[in-house]
């Protein structure tokens, strides 16, 4: 149930936080870090055990400098201890369930409370408002249909920060037709989907899709693609960096030079190979501690991306700390025989939408061998699962949501005991054979 007063309170608080001075922000972080660690120790068996193993008491964690006393948690730790990482104050059945995209080939289920859901909505609204969104702007997101019900009913009724959705699985024809009817003031979506849309808009000479600004996310966009999208749509492109586990971590303001870190809600560390903080301007692995997650806390969570901390100050007036470009999240585009180009993320979203099998698939990998041939490697959670039935249902599901014609594209399902890692040491969910940008 959406609590509108709570959401507006969060929004008001975050707008103030965006202009705090460094000392006030640091005091806020230290205070909430102490609360977070104590809560996790008292109510979350996984963290209670982790701290005991290290001989660390909650009282030992007083400031950000004490974070090094805590272990770094990785995705696999959470997968193996899912029940133990849910707070004992909550019933998992009453929580909102989300799933990561599975870009490592192994999706992670994340659970949040109603309160945390409101907090996440306020986080997004804060950045959008600072970038120029007005209460009655027409706001459209190209996304998975699973997100279509995210707009609070009251906001939709009164048209206050309302948002419309366009399916990422729709053809570009359908997307353009829908957008021409809505004429969005703010257009958001996966960065690669926005790039593909821009290419088709230019090709057709469409003049009616002219938002005030564009919000991209889910994958890193290169400078060429960003400038191209901006030129075609006639609007600035603001990138936002987010993961399902923690929601948004950092975002670009109107200056578009670097990313403001949501430091009032997330402590972000940039660590070298030895677990030490890197200096400003140096690359480091991103490790985050959420100051608002309670149902499923994330403390010193290894995100799996590379970032560059910055000690610069932004001219936009927002005082939140900055980071430079994120590395390690860029996808290549997939080409299909009918001329369509898709983001690899669409495959992972489609896999997560596989209702009959998604909870029975432990890991997956999609490999495009040829333009018309895909291998889908599946590791089941149980030997009892009928491979013939699952394979048939999965192929039918993917053909339907991705609009793949039987005569044009072959989908080959292969069941494996384990999914191999690639040369980078990561599980590869999608390997693209076609990497050139759209013409």
Q: How confident is the model at residue 417 (pLDDT cuts 50, 70, 90)?
A: confident
Give residue 183's pLDDT band: very low, low, confident or very high (50, 70, 90).
very high
209, 208, 165, 214: which is closest to 186 by C-alpha? 214
Statement to judge: residues 195 and 342 lie in one domain: no
437 occurs within a structural domain = no
Residue 31, domain member (yes or no): yes
Torsion, Cα 116 238 29 14, to 10 degrees, reads -60
Range in 16-25, 80-89, 223-232, 418-427 with the lowest mean pLDDT: 418-427
439 in any annotated domain = no
Residues 247 and 151 in one domain: yes
Q: Which residue did the predictor score with more confidence, 349 or 80?
A: 80
Phi–psi pair at 21, nearest 5 degrees:
-80, 170
Domain boundary among 303, 330, 357: 330
| Domain identity same for 226 and 142 | yes
Q: How far is CA 226 from CA 38, 188, 199, in A?
A: 43, 13, 12
Query: What residue numbers bound the domain in which 357 lies?
Result: 334-431
Distance of CA 366 to the CA centre of its chain: 20
Residues 318 and 386 in one domain: no
pLDDT digits (tens, 9 = 90+) for 270-282: 999 899 999 999 9
Listed residues 286, 301, 330: the one ending a domain: 330
- Does residue 6 sit within a domain? yes
Q: What is the pLDDT of residue 2?
A: 61
Residue 151 pLDDT > 70: no
Find, among 343, 338, 409, the residue nearest to 372 by Cα: 409
Residue 429 clears pLDDT 90, i.e. is over it: no
Claim to verify: residue 155 and residue 218 sit in the same structural domain: yes
Q: What is the pLDDT of residue 422?
A: 44
Q: In terms of Cα–Cα distance, which of 273, 304, 274 is closest to 287?
A: 304
pLDDT for the residue 438:
34
Residue 438 resides in a domain: no
Given a cut of 50, whether residue 411 has pLDDT beyond it is yes
Q: What is the number of other CB atoms lying within 10 angstroms of the CB of residue 69?
A: 15
The CA-based angle 86-358-299, given to 5 degrees, is 25
436: in domain: no
Q: What is the CATH number of the domain that holds 50?
A: 3.40.50.12780
Return phi, psi of residue 236, to 5°.
-65, 150
Say whether both 230 and 155 belong to one domain. Answer: yes
pLDDT (tens digit, 9 = 90+) per residue, 7-24?
889 999 999 999 999 999
Q: Decide: 199 and 438 in contact? Cβ < 8 Å.
A: yes
Residue 395 in 3-state DSSP? helix
Query: Is position 111 within any domain?
Result: yes
Give per-residue pLDDT as tens, 282-337: 989 999 999 999 999 999 999 988 899 999 999 999 999 999 877 655 455 677 88
Same-domain pairing of 96 and 71: yes
pLDDT one-digit tens code per residue, 353-363: 775 555 677 77
What is the pLDDT at residue 161? 66
Task: Read off the pLDDT of residues 236-261 as tens digits, 9 standing for 90 and up.
Answer: 999 999 888 998 999 999 998 899 99
Among candidate residues 277, 310, 330, the one where a domain is terminated: 330
């Amino acid at each position: 149930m959406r609590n509108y007063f709570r959401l507006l309170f969060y929004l008001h608080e975050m707008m103030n936080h965006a202009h705090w001075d460094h000392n006030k922000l640091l005091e806020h972080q230290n205070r909430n870090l102490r609360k977070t660690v104590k809560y996790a120790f008292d109510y979350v068996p996984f963290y209670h055990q982790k701290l005991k193993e290290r001989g660390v008491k909650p009282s030992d964690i007083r400031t950000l400098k004490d974070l090094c006393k805590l272990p770094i948690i990785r995705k696999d730790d959470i997968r193996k201890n899912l029940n133990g990482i849910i707070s004992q104050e909550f019933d998992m059945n009453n929580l909102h369930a989300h799933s990561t995209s599975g870009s490592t080939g192994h999706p992670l289920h994340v659970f949040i409370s109603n309160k945390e859901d409101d907090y996440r909505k306020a986080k997004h609204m804060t950045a959008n408002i600072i970038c120029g969104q007005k209460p009655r702007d027409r706001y459209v997101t190209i996304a998975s249909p699973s997100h279509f019900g995210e707009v609070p009913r009251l906001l939709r009724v009164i048209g206050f920060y309302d948002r419309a959705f366009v399916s990422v699985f729709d053809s570009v024809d359908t997307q353009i037709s829908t957008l021409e009817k809505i004429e969005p003031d703010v257009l958001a979506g996966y960065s690669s989907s926005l790039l593909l849309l821009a290419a088709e808009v230019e090709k057709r000479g469409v003049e009616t899709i002219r938002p005030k600004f564009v919000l991209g996310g889910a994958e890193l966009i290169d400078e060429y693609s960003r400038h191209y999208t901006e030129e075609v749509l006639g609007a600035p492109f603001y990138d936002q960096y987010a993961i399902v586990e923690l929601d948004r971590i950092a975002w670009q303001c109107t200056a578009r030079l670097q990313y403001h870190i949501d430091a009032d809600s997330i402590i972000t560390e940039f660590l070298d190979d030895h677990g030490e903080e890197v200096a400003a301007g140096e690359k480091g692995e991103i490790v985050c501690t959420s100051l608002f997650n309670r149902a499923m806390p994330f403390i010193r969570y290894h995100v799996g991306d590379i970032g560059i901390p910055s000690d610069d100050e932004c001219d936009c007036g927002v005082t939140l700390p900055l980071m430079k470009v994120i590395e390690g999240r860029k996808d290549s585009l997939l080409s299909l025989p009918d001329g369509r180009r898709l983001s690899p993320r669409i495959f992972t979203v489609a896999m997560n939408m596989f209702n009959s099998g998604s909870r029975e698939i432990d890991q997956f990998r999609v490999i495009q061998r040829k333009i018309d041939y895909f291998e889908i490697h599946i590791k089941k959670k149980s030997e009892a699962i009928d491979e013939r039935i699952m394979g048939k249902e999965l192929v039918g599901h993917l053909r339907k949501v991705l609009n793949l014609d039987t005569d044009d594209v072959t989908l080959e399902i292969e069941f494996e005991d384990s999914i191999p890692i690639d040369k980078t040491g990561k599980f590869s969910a999608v390997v693209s054979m076609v990497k050139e940008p759209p013409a």
